Amino acid sequence: MRDFGNAKKIVVKVGTSTVTYPTGKLNLSRLEKLARVLSDIKNEGRDVVLVTSGAVASGLGRLGLTKNHKTTQEKQALAAIGQGILMQIYEKLFGEYGVVVAQVLLTKDVVDEEKKMLNVKNTFEYLFKYGAIPIVNENDVVAIEELEFGDNDTLSAYVATIIGADLLIILSDIDGLYSCDPRIDKSAELIKEVFEIDSYIESIAGGAGTLNSTGGMQTKIEAAKIAMQHGIPMVIANGENPSIVKEILEGKEIGTLFVSKNAVSR
C-alpha cells in the first residue's frame, strides 16, 4: 500500500511537454491548475519544491520560432528569454493563492562540491521557513558540459536528495513505465511498482519523447536510481491533470512507484 500521508517534503518535477503546448507556448490552463494544487498541498503543512522545464521552449514560443535549435549558444539564449517568462507566469499564478515563490537556478557543481551543496541546502531550508515554494531549473545560461545535469529529471532527483525529500513525483506525458512503448505497441502494460532497477528495467527505457523535450524514460530511470539510492520513493505519472499529485499523496495507485527494497522493509 502506498502511504504518503505523512510525507513532509515533496519535490514535483514537470517536463516541457507538461508545461507547454507542442507550439512551444505555455499551457496556461495546466500551469494554473498546477499552481492551485501545489499551493493547496503547501497549505496542508508540507514543504513543496517545483522543478520545472520549459525555459527553452518558452523562449522559442516568445520569438515565434518553431524549430528547436540545437547549438549550445542558441539554447542558452532561448533559456535566458524563456526563464523570465516562466517565472513571471509562476509568480502571478501562485500569487493568486497567496504563495510566495523563489527562483533557484542550479548547475551540476552544486552536488559535486560539499560547500556549495550545504549552501543550497541552507537556502532551501530558509525558503521553507519563509513559507515559499522554490521553483528550480538548471542554470542553462552558464552551464557547460561538465556543469550540466543533462535533464531536469536528474536535477529533480538531486534536489530531492539535497533537501531530504520524502517523495519525488515526476509528471510527464506518459502514465508511467511500460513494458514497451505504448505509443507503438498496444500490448504494452503499465509497471506499477519497481523495487530494483535491473537489466530488464534498463532495457525497456526508451529515448526522448516529444520534439521540445530533452528527456525520456531513460532519464527518469536515472533519476529513480539516484532517489532509490537515498531511500526516496519516486513516482512517474501523467501530468495532463496536475490534480494527480493530490491523488498520489492520498495513496492512490497511480503511475509507477520506484522504491528500494530497503525502504520498503524499514
Q: What is the pLDDT of residues 30-74, one digit of tens each?
A: 999 999 999 999 999 999 999 998 888 888 888 888 766 667 788
pLDDT at residue 144, as a whole number: 57
Q: Determine the Cα–Cα distance for residues 11 and 187; give it in Å rounded to an integer.
A: 32
pLDDT at residue 266, as a whole number: 40
Tell me: pLDDT of 167 over 70: yes
Does 9 carry a binding-site annotation? no
Indicate the range of 82-96, 127-141, 143-157, 243-257 predicted with least confidence.
Answer: 143-157
> C-alpha angle with apex 89: 155 to 30, nearest 5 degrees?
75
Tell me: pLDDT of 140 over 80: no
Tell me the pLDDT of the chain averaged across its residues: 87
Among the ranges 64-78, 201-215, 231-245, which has the highest mean pLDDT value? 231-245
Is 150 within the bounds of a domain? yes
pLDDT band at 263 (very low <50, low <70, confident <90, very high): low
CATH number at residue 98: 3.40.1160.10
pLDDT at residue 25, as a whole number: 79
- Residue 258's alpha-carbon distances to 1, 97, 104, 169, 224, in angstroms, are 13, 32, 26, 10, 6
Q: State which residues form the domain around 222.
A: 9-258
113-137: pLDDT as tens digits: 999 999 999 999 999 999 999 999 9
Does 218 carry a binding-site annotation? yes
- Residue 108's alpha-carbon distances to 9, 27, 160, in angstroms, are 22, 28, 14
- Please compute the mean of the pLDDT values over residues 1-21 and round it to a whole number: 90
Is 3 within the bounds of a domain? no
Is 82 within the bounds of a domain? yes
Does 214 carry a binding-site annotation? yes
Is 2 within the bounds of a domain? no
pLDDT band at 207 (very low <50, low <70, confident <90, very high): very low
- Please compute the mean of the pLDDT values over residues 250-265 and round it to a whole number: 82
Does 172 carry a binding-site annotation? yes
Does 220 carry a binding-site annotation? yes
Tell me: pLDDT of 265 over 70: no
- Please compute the mean of the pLDDT values over residues 227-250 and round it to a whole number: 96
Does 53 carry a binding-site annotation? yes
Is 263 within the bounds of a domain? no
Identify whether the C-beta of residue 40 lies closer than 8 Å to the C-beta of residue 96.
no
Is 264 within the bounds of a domain? no
Is 1 within the bounds of a domain? no
Identify whether the C-beta of residue 11 lies closer than 8 Å to the C-beta of residue 166.
no
Looking up cell 533537501, which residue turns up?
Answer: 163
pLDDT at residue 199, as a whole number: 87
Output the pTM of the full model: 0.91
Does 216 carry a binding-site annotation? yes
Is 43 within the bounds of a domain? yes
**Domains contained in the chain, number:** 1
- Please compute the mean of the pLDDT values over residues 237-258 and round it to a whole number: 95
